[in-house]
Amino acid sequence: MQSIEERHHLIQLVMWLLVEPEMRLGAAWRAGAVRYNLFLKDFDDAPNWYIHIVSKFTDWRQRF
């Protein structure tokens, strides 16, 4: 169990990410903070908008 403060913080982070997911996920990928395979790991039923965004990150050479 996480504290209420930790849960609120996590919700704030998710909301920040979802304001502009394409820009923020792309920035994390280009910075090397997240590898492409982690975007889809444990995400069995990803929404189409999410798959559309992360499919752009399959070519690691585009990062540079």
**How far, in Å, CA of 28 to CA of 5, rounded?**
25
Look up the domain containing 44 and give its range: 21-63
Residue 27 belongs to some domain of the structure: yes
Residue 15 belongs to some domain of the structure: no
∠ CA 13-16-20, rounded to 5°? 140
With contact defined as beta carbons under 8 Å apart, do 62 and 29 qualify? Answer: no
**How far, in Å, CA of 51 to CA of 14, rounded?**
17
pLDDT, tens digit, 9 for 90 and up, residues 37-60 = 888 888 889 999 999 999 988 876
Report which residue type is found at 2. Answer: Q
Residue 8 belongs to some domain of the structure: no
Residue 51 belongs to some domain of the structure: yes
Q: How many residues does the chain have?
A: 64
pTM for this entry: 0.72
In the chain, how many domains are there? 1
pLDDT, tens digit, 9 for 90 and up, residues 2-35 = 899 999 999 999 999 899 999 999 998 888 888 8
With contact defined as beta carbons under 8 Å apart, do 3 and 10 qualify? Answer: no
Residue 25 belongs to some domain of the structure: yes
